[in-house]
A and B are shown apart, each in its own frame.
Chain A
Amino acid sequence: MQTAIDVQTVSKRFRLYKEKYTSLKERVLHAGRVPFEDFWALKDVEFEVQTGETVGILGRNGSGKSTLLKCVAGILQPTSGQIVVRGHVAAMLELGAGFQPELSGRDNVFLNASLLGLPRREIERRFDDIVAFAELEEFIDNQVRFYSSGMYVRLGFAVAVNVEPDVLLIDEVLAVGDERFQQKCMERVHQFQREGRTIVVVSHSADVMRQICDRVVVIEDGKVVTVAPPGEAIRAFRDCLLAGEVPVALPPEEQDAAGTTEVIGQPERRVVITDAAARHSGPPGRSFLVPGDSLRLEIRFQVNEPLMNVAFGCEVFAANGGLIFNCDSAMAEIHQIHDLEPGLFRVEFDFDQLPLLDGAYTVNARIQDAGGGVVHARLEPAATFEIVNPGQATGAVALPLRIELSAVSAVAG
């Protein structure tokens, strides 16, 4: 087993200028006293990746994981230390980076593949594969500027995976295109793994890590926290999230969300939502939910004139915009319809348990007419929350599952 990537005490310093002087006049005026702060994006990072291994780099936004990947790719140079990479590297930092809108898809495939280091003869040989993978046979001679964003990204991915590098670097680009294309991308990644290629994936999604990685490097504030198998590393990552000052995705127990959510609806309307708060059943101070936690959404609203046939509804959306759940109180399951007099009210939406896996979710709330159609007031989003799965299952829903084995027929003897 060879070492494919050897990261040796790599540090990277960024100069954060309070103001950027790039013109001669400013340079002269501020010569020698340009205000800046040193910011160490990476500090003595050290790890090795073996040939054929898939290693994930997991960290929060701003933890330095992308900087590390850019250093491995050779786009940034480390301030100190060095990285030895064995074999041909292709980095997928942005799909379709360098596509020329004026050129045809065909020309762009050649240009882009060449940028990624593929010789021309190889490009010609694989051209049909690339086009077929991107599913752009009809449009390959059109100018890229007429492509939809989906087509653009598909072509970018198709080129990048067909470069067939020894080392593939992926930065959060697996979540592109529609579901079917994503699946295709995942399949290609698995094929790369079977072929014994080395892959480094950067993500803040524990899900991706669990799905494809052999080992995971957890990075926090530019330092390596741990290098471990996915399950263990993800736990360490969670601890980091807990210990650090995580941007609070969910207002904790006693705190109201009134200040942060936007109140929709004008005061002269018949119903005005004045206030919203979300609470979870976990320990106070925890900023995320685990699967099976309960969630309570509280909406306060003001009714300005008598209102008949009122129902309350809510929707839960996944981060990619997919609808997870939609229900209102007029539906048969609940069947609560109210007639309201002017005054202040509070309505609570109680999710006894959320069988959801990793991800960020948003909840919208609405006050509507029971017959449907008229929505009196709507709060979007009423709350956002993140679910962090301590287990190893992946996917969208924490389906309760038991697995049992029994012999159907025993071999004679």
Chain B
Amino acid sequence: MAEGDGGGGREWPLLANVQEMTVTPTAPVGPGSPGDDRLLPSRVVSAKVRLRPRLVEIWQSRELIVFLIRKELKVRYKNSVLGFLWSFLNPALILGVYYVVFKYFLPNHLLYFAIYLFAGLLPWNLFNNSLLSSAGVLVAHAGIVKKVSFPREILALAQVGTAICYFFFQTCIMVVFLAGFQVLPDWKYLPIALLALICDIVLSAALAVFLSAVNVYLRDVQHLIEVALVALFFSPPIVYPFSTVGQKLSHHGILWVYFLNPLVAIVLSFQRFIYGHVAPHDSPNPLPSYSEEWYVIVLGIVLAVSLVLFLLAMLIFGRVEGNFAEEL
């Protein structure tokens, strides 16, 4: 203090309540902190689309997909009295409605029609739910898309994942149903049904990723897809037997046109597996009489096409992804 130097300055009284200062040393750099010279993975942000890093990134984010699926399952029936039970109740009730309609109002004379119907509905619902919910998913999650960096395809893929979960819930209902009717599936066709399931998933994922991206730029897609799915519902033989369409088309020799729709092969495989045992052999059989090899080949083609579509969807998604944050 300048005044204190000469001894002539005034005395400064002590402040009684000033705490004594303690000096804490700063923490040293701990081991494992990024101060080490370890090589960190680097990431490049640019307008170019690279397919492989994208796929790697999605694979690395698989836990996030699980969390997002869990969120979807939790949120969907949150605050309803029956809660999670709806996941099972919903497909059971819908099946009930279909059963009553096609048993009493629009009767057809198929044996165990409920099982035939459910066998077709299983893969259809997976496809339908995936597309319905993923079309608007980026718009609905605009908050995250604009503020957090992660592979955005995951949002669409999580919707497909959610649809897969519902597929398994419905399968549980199906099992109860089969037990009720005392019907066994045709176990010989289980591998084919599983292959069909994979085709169904890949195809749904491809379209889900594509539609979710397009919908950001063209919001009509969300509404268009609802109508398109209603129309598409009648394209594979779910509520009618394969033979009705099959006979007419093969009469003109253009049955292959029917199989351009990949859903037809997928639905037929499921029906073959679940309904195969109880399908009547004498009265008109709703199922075609193709061999196992035929199923494997057709499903193989469907899978290949679906995979190509999926990669294409990823490319398109990557191309337009950079502007999502601006467009939303």
Interface residues, chain A, CB within 8 Å of chain B?
A: 2, 14-15, 22-25, 27, 51-52, 70-89, 91, 93-94, 97-98, 100, 102-103, 107, 110-111, 114-117, 119-120, 166, 191, 194-198, 404, 406
Contacts and interface: CB of A to CB of B under 8 A. Distances in A.
Contact of B149 (A23, A74, A82, A111): A74
Contacts of B227: none
A82 B63 contact: no
Given A75-B147, A195-B29, A22 B218 contact: yes
A102 B74 contact: yes
Nearest to A108: B71
Given A97-B143, A195-B30, A195-B33, A74 B41 contact: no
B230 interface: no
B143 A98 contact: yes
A79 B43 contact: no
Contacts of B63: 114, 119-120
A52 B34 CA distance: 8
Interface in B68-98: 68, 70-71, 74-75, 78-79
A74 B57 CA distance: 13
Given A2-B37, A98-B147, A77 B218 contact: no
A73 B68 CA distance: 21
Contact of B144 (A51, A87, A115, A166): A115
A86 B40 contact: yes
Interface residues of B, number: 48
Contacts of A120: 63, 67
Given A98-B148, A107-B74, A114-B63, A77 B45 contact: yes
**Interface centre among B2, B45, B68, by most A CB within 10 Å?**
B45
Contacts of B148: 75, 91, 93, 97-98, 115-116
A97 B328 CA distance: 15
Interface string B137-176: 0000101101111100000000000000000000000000
Given A27-B218, A75-B325, A197 B34 contact: yes
A78 B218 contact: no
A76 B325 CA distance: 6
A100 B75 CA distance: 9
A191 B34 CA distance: 13
13 contacts: A75-B325, A78-B45, A79-B47, A82-B46, A85-B43, A86-B41, A88-B40, A97-B144, A98-B141, A194-B26, A194-B29, A195-B29, A197-B34
- Give 7 nearest A-B pairs by CB, closest first: A196-B35, A77-B322, A82-B46, A97-B147, A87-B40, A98-B144, A24-B220
B43 A89 contact: yes
B321 interface: yes
B47 A23 contact: no
B15 interface: no
Given A24-B218, A195-B29, A197-B33, A80 B150 contact: no
Contacts of B187: none
